[in-house]
């Protein structure tokens, strides 16, 4: 993407949150990463997200993240829009990665600064500082999982920042989604941050969703999204119900390790996780295999096993 206008025009639909495949020595498996990216683009995904929380960015150095950005943009080119997570606890790193992501033609995804007792005003100032650094604008990631939840009134203030293209919303409580959908829709792009429960936000008027589990179940999640996009809520509901057992395992065993285990069982390139995460052990892998086998027996799921 070349500028903010193009980012706003193209930022919609189903984005795959591509996991970062590490080999047994901890190095990034770039060939495996390329295969994962090509798989979802080939299936018809609208975009991808690289190096996010489920891409394990906190376990990578700034240089590794910059190299990851360049590698993926070389693979993708301009075929689909790419979100590049430039979040961090050090504002200097965020500045550098945000500028790089925009220069490469990606859309930087920035979280609020996760430091002790930061005020709403300081958070808004932080985004006002970061947004102009990228020629493509920025995507605000409201990520409760890292410890700071942006309240709707703060998101409304951020929607007025000229270079903020959208928000990836991780707080999916009903009242919050209702307020955001009705007060921010049309002002900035609205993305649901979780595929575990995305039907509600999409029905409320969100513009898209980012999905980690689509690394393991790309066909099923794509079919679910396309049904919802076409106005067939009943089919979307039924397809979403098919993989509830898998979602339950993801909640129990954690992400991205559950997704990576499922990818391995399907012959995909999930690779390993990096510490402090740990790969799933044999009993948990057996549970994941059982869930996948049940999906493979259901024609509507379109899941095949290795």
Q: Which residue segment(s) compose the domain that 84 sits in?
A: 4-230
CATH number at residue 83: 3.20.20.70
pLDDT digits (tens, 9 = 90+) for 247-297: 999 999 999 999 999 999 999 999 999 999 999 999 999 999 999 999 999
User: Is 219 within the bounds of a domain?
Assistant: yes
pLDDT at 150: 95
User: Is 41 within the bounds of a domain?
Assistant: yes
pLDDT digits (tens, 9 = 90+) for 131-148: 999 999 999 999 988 878
Q: What is the arithmetic mean of pLDDT over 209-219?
A: 97
User: Is 250 within the bounds of a domain?
Assistant: no
Contact 169, 191 (CB under 8 A): yes
User: Is 187 within the bounds of a domain?
Assistant: yes
pLDDT digits (tens, 9 = 90+) for 161-207: 999 999 999 999 999 999 999 999 999 999 999 999 899 999 999 99
Q: At what angle do helices 244-253 and 282-296 cross, to 10 degrees?
A: 160
User: Is 118 within the bounds of a domain?
Assistant: yes
> Which of 30, 45, 54, 168 does the annotation list as catalytic?
168
pLDDT digits (tens, 9 = 90+) for 32-66: 999 999 999 999 999 999 999 999 999 999 999 99
pLDDT digits (tens, 9 = 90+) for 77-129: 999 999 999 999 899 999 999 999 999 999 999 999 888 788 999 999 999 99
Please indicate whether residue 168 is annotated as part of the active site: yes
User: Is 184 within the bounds of a domain?
Assistant: yes
> Which of 45, 54, 141, 225 does the annotation list as catalytic?
141
User: Is 303 within the bounds of a domain?
Assistant: no
Please indicate whether residue 244 is annotated as part of the active site: no
User: Is 271 within the bounds of a domain?
Assistant: no
Q: How many domains does the chain have?
A: 1
């Amino acid at each position: 993407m070349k500028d903010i206008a193009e980012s706003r025009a193209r930022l919609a639909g189903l984005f795959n949150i591509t996991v970062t495949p590490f080999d047994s020595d901890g190095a990034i498996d770039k060939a495996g990463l390329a295969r994962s990216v090509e798989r979802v683009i080939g299936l018809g995904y609208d975009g991808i997200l690289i190096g996010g929380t489920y891409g394990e960015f906190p376990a990578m150095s700034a240089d590794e993240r910059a190299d990851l950005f360049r590698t993926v943009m070389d693979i993708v080119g301009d075929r689909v829009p790419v979100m590049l997570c430039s979040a961090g606890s050090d504002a200097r790193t965020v500045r550098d990665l945000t500028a790089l992501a925009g220069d490469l033609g990606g859309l930087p995804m920035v979280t609020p600064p996760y430091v002790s007792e930061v005020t709403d005003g300081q958070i808004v100032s932080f985004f006002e500082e970061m947004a102009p650094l990228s020629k493509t604008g920025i995507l605000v990631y409201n990520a409760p999982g890292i410890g700071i939840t942006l309240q709707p009134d703060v998101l409304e203030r951020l929607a007025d920042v000229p270079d903020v293209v959208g928000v990836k919303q991780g707080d999916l409580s009903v009242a919050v989604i209702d307020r955001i959908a009705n007060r921010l829709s049309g002002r900035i792009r609205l993305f649901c941050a979780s595929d575990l429960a995305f039907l509600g936000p999409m029905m409320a008027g969100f513009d898209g969703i980012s999905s980690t589990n689509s690394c393991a179940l790309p066909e099923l999640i794509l079919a679910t999204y396309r049904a919802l996009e076409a106005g067939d809520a009943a089919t979307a509901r039924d397809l979403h119900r098919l993989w509830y057992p898998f979602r339950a395992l993801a909640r129990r065993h954690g992400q991205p390790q559950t997704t990576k285990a499922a990818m391995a069982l399907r012959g995909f390139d999930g690779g390993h996780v990096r510490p402090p995460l740990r790969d799933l052990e044999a009993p948990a892998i057996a549970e994941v295999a059982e869930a996948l086998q049940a999906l493979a027996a259901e024609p509507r799921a379109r899941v095949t096993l290795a």
